[in-house]
Amino acid sequence: MQKIRVGVLRGGTSSEYDVSLKTGESVLRHLPEHKYFPIDMLITKDGTWHINGMPADLPKVARKVDIVFNALHGEYGEDGQVQRLLENFSIPFTGSGALSSAIGMNKSLSKEIFKKHGLKTAIDLVVPSRRLSEDLKSENDFQFLIFEILGIVPLPMIAKPVSGGSSVGTYIIKDVKDLINAITNLAGTGWDILFEEFISGKEATCGVVNNFRRKELYSLLPVEIKPPEKSEFFDFDAKYGGESQEIVPGNFTREESSEIQRMAMLAHQALNLRHYSRSDFIIGNDGIYILEVNTLPGLTGESLLPKSLKAVGSNLPEFLDHIITEALKK
């Protein structure tokens, strides 16, 4: 049997370049050898595509691979841009399509869809990047912006980019001083910023997989995340520093676990995602809140999805084979 040529796309132009390298390395290492021929595809930080170390363009990619396993994270790789390019060249790829990826990456748009489907979300306000920069130039405008944010979003709150991942550029705001500091630091980034009510409670995440184990949509076991004491939330260092406790299955009641799974599957369907996703939640005093969805969750040694697979008796090679098979069906 001729092996399927899998181009593992990693790197990219986002701040999550290094994490993507690790996800790609993990995919390359765990592809079942009897069935797949792995091809290392790298996008450098300046956006240049490479195949096995040599510069390449998309027509060449289309000739060299049967399918692309998208191991990118963040901007360009997870927001619909690379998906649109691959679609234009009719190259099959893993993960969600261009439109669903773009919506999933935009925390504000995805939250609006979650609300329409009855999912509980935190109070929020989006401030465009241009307004952040302009209002900083005028003391009156700056004060009005602060009053406007505080009038809508209660303290404590979180400020984070509308489109971004791995908690990059995220601030916890406990008072006006913190708010001023966050606005000042985020104003020059070019990001639209989501100011969102901080929900205190147990952190959870839950992965779902399409057409797995004879189910049209299969929910993995919810994971409980306990950041190290020095971290106030599951930030970049907590995610990749190896100090967080990630308990699979989490210490949830049967009702909590069932509801998290239901919400993760509903979020996946509401955004019309495909193949797999992972959604993040907070169990607050007044219910379970969905925070965001990850359309291309990490597959590194520290990542949550592989740990969830192991907890249900699966593993990365089985998962990769399943996802590629799903992507080739089309």
Query: What would the DSSP string read from start to end of 97-164?
Result: -HHHHHHHHBHHHHHHHHHHTT-----EEEE-HHHHHHHTT-HHHHHHHHHHHHHHSPSSEEEEESB-
Does residue 280 share a domain with residue 212?
yes
Does residue 250 share a domain with residue 113?
yes
Residue 235: the pLDDT is 47
Residues 230-289: tens digit of each pLDDT = 556 544 454 444 567 899 999 999 999 999 999 999 999 999 999 999 999 999 999 999
**Mean pLDDT over all residues of the chain?**
93
Residue 232: the pLDDT is 61
Residue 231: the pLDDT is 55
**Rounded CA gap, 290 and 118, in Å?**
11
**Rounded CA gap, 224 and 231, in Å?**
15
- From its phi and psi, is residue 212 left (phi > 0), alpha (psi between -120 and 50) or beta? beta
Does residue 325 share a domain with residue 286?
yes
**84: three-class secondary structure by DSSP:** helix
Residues 181-218: tens digit of each pLDDT = 999 999 888 889 999 999 999 999 999 999 999 999 99
Does residue 157 share a domain with residue 86?
no
Residue 294: the pLDDT is 96
Does residue 168 share a domain with residue 62?
no
The domain of 144 spans: 124-197
Does residue 114 share a domain with residue 261?
yes
Does residue 108 share a domain with residue 237?
yes
- Residue 248 belongs to a domain with what CATH number? 3.30.470.20
- Residue 166 belongs to a domain with what CATH number? 3.30.1490.20
Does residue 111 share a domain with residue 250?
yes
- Residue 76 belongs to a domain with what CATH number? 3.40.50.20
Span 16-32, average pLDDT:
96
Does residue 114 share a domain with residue 128?
no
b/e burial code for range 76-109 (CB count within 10 A of at least 16 → b): bbbbbbbbebbeeeebbbbbbbbebbbbbbbbeb
| Cis amide prior to 156 (ω within 30 degrees) | yes
Does residue 146 share a domain with residue 235?
no
Residues 118-146: tens digit of each pLDDT = 999 999 999 999 999 888 888 899 999 99
Residue 173 located in a structural domain:
yes
Residue 28 located in a structural domain:
yes
Residue 228: the pLDDT is 74
Does residue 275 share a domain with residue 212?
yes
Residue 231 located in a structural domain:
yes
Span 45-72, average pLDDT:
95
For 4, list phi and psi in degrees, rounded to 5.
Answer: -80, 130
Counting the structural domains of the chain, the total is 3
CB 82 within 8 A of CB 11: no
Residue 98: the pLDDT is 98
Final residue in a domain of this structure, among 197, 217, 249: 197
Q: What percent of the chain has pLDDT over 90?
A: 85
Does residue 249 share a domain with residue 141?
no
Tokens 């049997």 found at = 1
Span 301-308, average pLDDT:
91
Planar angle of CA 120, 124, 125, nearest 5 degrees: 150
